[in-house]
Amino acid sequence: MTIARRSLLGASALLAMPHVARAQGRARLVILGGGFGGASAARFARDHYPALDVTLIERSQRFTTCPYGNLVLAGTRRVEDITFGYEQLAARGVRVLHAEAAAVEAEARAVRLADGTRVPYDRLVMSPGIDLRWGAIEGYDEAASAKMPHGWIPYRQPITVLAAQLRAMRQGGVFLMAIPDNPFRCPPGPYERISMVASYLKRHNPTAKIIALDAKNGFSKQPLFQEAWEELYPGMIDWRGASSDGRVMRVDTNEMALETEFGEKVKGDVINVIPPQFAAGIARAAGLAADSGWCPIKPDSFESTRVPNIHVIGDASVAAPMPKSGFAAATQARQAVAAAAAQLAGREVPAAVYFNTCYSHVGEDYGISIVGVFRASGGRLIEVEGAGGISPRNAALPGARRAEHRRLEAIYADGWYEAITREMFAQA
Amino acid sequence: MNRILVAAILLGSFAGGANAQTSQATLLAGACQGCHGANGAGAQGIPGIHHTMSRSEFTLAMQDFRANRREATVMGRIARGYTDAEFAALAAHFARPEASR
């Protein structure tokens, strides 16, 4: 009895001293942004660090993924199939705050919400995602995006806007795309989009064409995509890289046209503009971004090189050679949480091994992938040599094996999507 | 006495934290879970890996993928990024429990 009372007294005396109270095990981990990075961080922190107080700040009650949005265009997924809630994360003990974050007050170590409330943290993991650079393509602003949808940030513009335009397009019409230079969210995404739009058109509008104007000369999984396009959608897809005047400089919403570097005006019946991007505004305003607009990080912890006690993961970070993908964000999330917990406890940050797989659907029963294993080494992120890479090209796969390989990767893509979303949203 | 108790409280909570010293295997396993599921149960044709193999079977499978001795879609490309020590750590994490020696 005496012992119990004394220990309680001891504990309350400790609580009066904030730095000791932290050491006592209720260090506050705040996670800002509930996408692939943030939701994965919350799940991982809650499962493996019972001593941490875990808060997730996310504006939306429901989260629609970017991955599989292209399958909504194809008509093989409904938007409800790719939309998730945070109830199960909350049930596991993550404090979920559905609120708009107004600012990060790094000196005070707090996130200020739009209503003025401050959420204090000992360590902050930010997975804020991207913003679009309005005006980087002349004339392409938010108003123009209603007419020429981007379909690249689901909470700003659901993929259904572009899907509705695709479905309403006249027979034999032109689906026109503008694709940005690197770096941007989801490197294979525009090419999976071309494929899934082609898949829709092949079934419902077979005389239609796709013209893709690209600001660069090469892209992720390019030989695999292009071989598949020839095989599945012959004559339908016209992809023009930067050296074929693919860079879009200007949009004309009245004429429904894109104007290229050398002044060609290309008209489209439906126009999808994926504009240049940068880290979300809240990260830039907090001083986390370099002149590039993206947030540099320490490769073993994803802690910002610019602001202490803040980790920046996912698309907003500078993590090349890792791609800006959902899987990459999830793998960064685990390491960032482990590093934050270690640093709070005065331990060494664990060795960093990161992993990514990006699957793309190219057609029915036709999937391809790119894989990478990455390590922090000598202050840099490096891709492990000899590992990873893209699926074998057609020539490397003997006849029967080829179809089976593509079919399996399509199935595995679906399995990946199910596994990662169930983990993020604590449904498994 | 009080000082000892205070120390005990701190130690206890640090133990909670130390428990939280997530093993390297837990971090490595995140890569597998991305497709094989949070609990390694697999989904949609992706094989389950939780308690489906012995440790030696698990390690051998990974080594075979790495050496291109076993037909794969993605696992060969993945396995070539990891060391034998990491295979062993993952085997201990995912394989069937074995009687302690």
Assess contact for A270 and A147: CB atoms under 8 A: no
Which backbone phi and psi does A190 adopt, to 5 degrees? -65, -30
Question: Which CATH number is A133-274 given?
Answer: 3.50.50.60
Strands A95-97 vs A53-57: parallel, antiparallel or unpaired:
parallel
Amino acid present at A363: G
Instruction: List, as ranges, residues 383-422 from A with C-beta within 8 Å of B.
Output: 384, 386-389, 391, 405, 408-409, 411-412, 414-416, 418-420, 422
| Tokens read off for A198 | 């082609």
pLDDT band at B15 (very low <50, low <70, confident <90, very high): very low
**Chain A contact for B7 (CB, 8 A cutoff):** no
Among A residues 279-338, those touching chain B with beta carbons less than 8 Å apart: 327, 330-331, 334-335, 338
Q: DSSP assignment of B63-98, as one string?
A: HHHHTT-S--SSHHHHHTTS-HHHHHHHHHHHSPP-
A68 touches chain B (CB under 8 A): no
Q: Which bin fits B58, alpha (ψ -120 to 50), beta or left (φ > 0)?
A: alpha
Distance CA B61, CA B53 (A): 9
Q: How far apart are CA A279 and CA A98, in angstroms?
A: 21
pLDDT in tens, A283-334: 999 999 999 999 999 999 999 999 999 999 999 999 999 999 999 999 999 9
Above 90 in pLDDT, residue A156? yes
Taken in order of first residue, the domains within chain B and their CATH numbers are 23-94 (1.10.760.10)
- The beta-carbon neighbor of B24 closest among A327, A350, A387 is A350
A411 and B44: CB-CB below 8 Å? yes
Between strands A83-85 and A62-64, the pairing is: antiparallel
Which residues between 56 and 85 in chain B have a beta carbon less than 8 angstroms from any beta carbon of chain A? 73-74, 77-82
Q: What is the mean pLDDT of residues B36-53?
A: 93
Task: Establish whether domains A2-59+99-129+280-348 and A133-274 are of one fold.
Answer: yes
Helices A399-424 and A326-344: angle between axes, nearest 10 degrees: 40
Mean pLDDT of chain B: 83
Percent of chain A exceeding pLDDT 70 equals 94
A166-191 mean pLDDT: 98
What is the b/e burial string over A37-60, where b = at least 16 CB atoms within 10 angstroms of the residue's CB?
bbbbbbbbbbbbbebbbbbbbbee
Is A418 in contact with B44 (Cβ distance < 8 A)? yes
Note whether B24 contacts A: Cβ–Cβ < 8 A.
Answer: yes
% of chain B at pLDDT higher than 70: 76
Contact status, residue A405 vs residue A397, Cβ threshold 8 Å: yes
**Which of chain B's residues have a Cβ under 8 Å away from the Cβ of A52?**
20
Q: Any residues with CB less than 8 A from the CB of A423 and at least 6 apart, and which?
A: A40, A43, A330, B33, B34, B37, B38
Per residue in A343-363, pLDDT (tens digit) is 999 999 999 999 999 999 999
Q: What are phi and psi of A278, to 5 degrees?
A: -155, 175
Question: How would residue B5 be classed by pLDDT, with cut points 50, 70 and 90?
Answer: very low
Residue A66 has pLDDT above 80, yes or no: yes
Q: Tokens at residue A117, please?
A: 């409330």
Query: What's the pLDDT band for A24 if we cut at 50, 70, 90?
Result: low
Residue B27 pLDDT class (50, 70, 90 cuts) = very high
Say whether pLDDT at A19 is over 80.
Answer: no
Q: What is the pLDDT of residue B98?
A: 84
pLDDT at residue B2 tops 50: no
Per-residue pLDDT band for B23 (boundaries 50, 70, 90) equals confident
Do the chains contact at B10 and A6, CB–CB below 8 Å?
Answer: no
pLDDT, position A16: 39
For A99-112, b/e burial (b = at least 16 CB within 10 A) is eebeebebeebbbe
Spatial separation of the C-alpha atoms in residues A144 and A167, rounded to whole Å: 20
Among all chains, which residue has been given the structure tokens 């981007």?
Answer: A150
Mean pLDDT of A83-109: 98
Residues in chain A: 428
Q: Domain ranges in chain A?
A: 2-59+99-129+280-348, 133-274
pLDDT at A370 exceeding the cut of 80: yes
The CATH number of the domain covering residues in A2-59+99-129+280-348:
3.50.50.60
